[in-house]
Copies of this chain bind each other. A is one copy, B any other.
């Protein structure tokens, strides 16, 4: 089992994650060699431009601007794709696999969009395609699903999969801060990109959810069929009302099996305050899995240089130890078949509706009447505040109904011409 031959790595990308990988390989070299059973050597690094300063930790590596260099280097055992994007990254991964090299990547977008090409190729070549780092950064999640929870039949997977969005919601909640201000703060602190769309609109979380569903259920829920909502319309007022009712608002990715079908989506949801998931704050991530052997929750940093690099190197160490590839968690599977989908709008849950209405008699009666006519029963009502001309919030918690029924009722309420602002609708977990 023990081999003295080092495992040789070629790495493309020297951004946050790439630098973290180089640093961990240097700082933890001894313990990594002990865990892996042999040394792990960073031979080459692909950079965009040779002008840039080299990262201290990777100073002994060969630098190149030739993207495919690691894929073509006979000495390289494993190619790390850490450049991101879906074009050059795809070319590199395909070339590496074609040339018989294992691949480790943190590229959730690429795998969620082109997994049906890349996973079967790795499978046919019997090569590792490690992607632990692509979901929830430094939190052990893909390997636990594949290995430690493999005897469970998982029927639910949900999580706080985007640290930027969770940071923003936490600030909005703690400081009763509007979304724009919290976003600006996140950008200042380096938690959000200049263009924050992927994070705040739920797209990054959706990429991760697609991968989680593949591993947890052995089924493909195509990204383009996934229902995705972001947090840009969430208001501190909604957060405050939700808390009053015993909930926190979290951007969740959720997928569950319902009568053989899978229903999934990314959306800001009301999570009961006593759930551990509701207590995950700031830029932390958490994933909750439920199977017939009970629930587990895994929690930690979803991003950042060292946490993500640690996940990248977990896959590298598994390769060093000569484990058989089991990329998708089912050794015989080329790629999961498409799930039989129950659209999220057809799945039932409780709902939270917040209207802005004039403070006058008959408004609650009219809205309640519309809901009743759609067989939607009301669990809780809050109406507060004085009408200073802009109306007052009217908040309703419903019993179980499908979102489709809720939307139909909401449309009908709009026609009554009594709402003074956009009505907000959240699903309750």
Which A residues lie at the B interface, using CB under 8 A? 1-2, 24, 27-28, 31-32, 34-37, 126, 132, 138-141, 143-144, 146-153, 218, 276, 279-280, 291-301, 304, 306-307, 309-314, 316-318, 321-326, 329-333
Q: Say yes or no: B306 contacts A292, CB within 8 Å.
A: yes
Tell me whether A153 and B28 are in contact in the complex, defined as CB-CB below 8 angstroms, given that A293-B307, A299-B297, A317-B147 are known contacts: yes
Q: Say yes or no: A296 contacts B292, CB within 8 Å.
A: no
* Interface contacts beyond A34-B333, A152-B310, A298-B299: sample of 8 additional A-B pairs, CB < 8 Å, sorted by A: A27-B153, A27-B292, A37-B331, A140-B144, A140-B147, A151-B317, A276-B279, A294-B301
Tell me how far the C-beta of A24 lies from the nearest C-beta in chain B, rounded to whole angstroms.
5
Q: Say yes or no: B314 contacts A32, CB within 8 Å.
A: no
Cα distance, A152 to B331, chains bound together (Å): 27
Q: Name the B residues within 8 Å of A332 (CB-CB).
A: 2, 34, 37
Tell me how far the C-beta of A51 lies from the nearest C-beta in chain B, rounded to whole angstroms.
30
Q: Which partner residue on chain B sits nearest A304 by CB separation?
A: B294
Cα distance, A24 to B294, chains bound together (Å): 12
Q: Say yes or no: B27 contacts A314, CB within 8 Å.
A: no
Cα distance, A324 to B295, chains bound together (Å): 29
Q: Which partner residue on chain B sits nearest A148 by CB separation?
A: B140
Tell me whether A297 and B300 are in contact in the complex, defined as CB-CB below 8 angstroms, given that A150-B36, A218-B34 are known contacts: yes
Among A148, A294, A333, residue most surrounded by chain B Cβ atoms (within 10 Å): A148
Q: List 27 A-B contacts (CB under 8 A).
A: A2-B332, A24-B151, A35-B146, A35-B150, A35-B329, A35-B331, A36-B331, A138-B293, A140-B144, A140-B147, A140-B148, A143-B148, A144-B144, A147-B314, A147-B317, A151-B309, A151-B310, A151-B316, A152-B310, A276-B276, A291-B310, A292-B306, A294-B306, A295-B300, A298-B298, A299-B299, A322-B324
Tell me how far the C-beta of A300 lies from the nearest C-beta in chain B, rounded to whole angstroms.
3
Cα distance, A138 to B126, chains bound together (Å): 30
Tell me how far the C-beta of A303 lies from the nearest C-beta in chain B, rounded to whole angstroms.
10
Q: Say yes or no: B150 contacts A32, CB within 8 Å.
A: yes
Among A153, A294, A301, residue most surrounded by chain B Cβ atoms (within 10 Å): A294
Q: Name the B residues within 8 Å of A291 (CB-CB).
A: 310
Cα distance, A161 to B400, chains bound together (Å): 37
Q: Name the B residues within 8 Å of A292 (CB-CB).
A: 24, 27-28, 306
Q: Say yes or no: A151 contacts B35, CB within 8 Å.
A: yes
Tell me whether A300 and B309 are in contact in the complex, defined as CB-CB below 8 angstroms, given that A34-B333, A150-B35 are known contacts: no
Tell me how far the C-beta of A348 lies from the nearest C-beta in chain B, rounded to whole angstroms.
26
Q: Which partner residue on chain B sits nearest A147 by CB separation?
A: B143
Q: Say yes or no: A294 contacts B299, CB within 8 Å.
A: no
Q: Name the B residues within 8 Å of A318 (CB-CB).
A: 147
Cα distance, A86 to B306, chains bound together (Å): 41
Q: Say yes or no: B300 contacts A296, CB within 8 Å.
A: yes
Q: Say yes or no: A293 contacts B276, CB within 8 Å.
A: no
Q: Which partner residue on chain B sits nearest A151 by CB separation?
A: B313
Q: Say yes or no: B296 contacts A139, CB within 8 Å.
A: yes
Tell me how far the C-beta of A128 lies from the nearest C-beta in chain B, rounded to whole angstroms.
12
Cα distance, A155 to B306, chains bound together (Å): 15
Cα distance, A140 to B31, chains bound together (Å): 22
Q: Name the B residues within 8 Å of A34 (CB-CB).
A: 218, 330, 332-333
Tell me how far the C-beta of A190 lies from the nearest C-beta in chain B, rounded to whole angstroms.
16
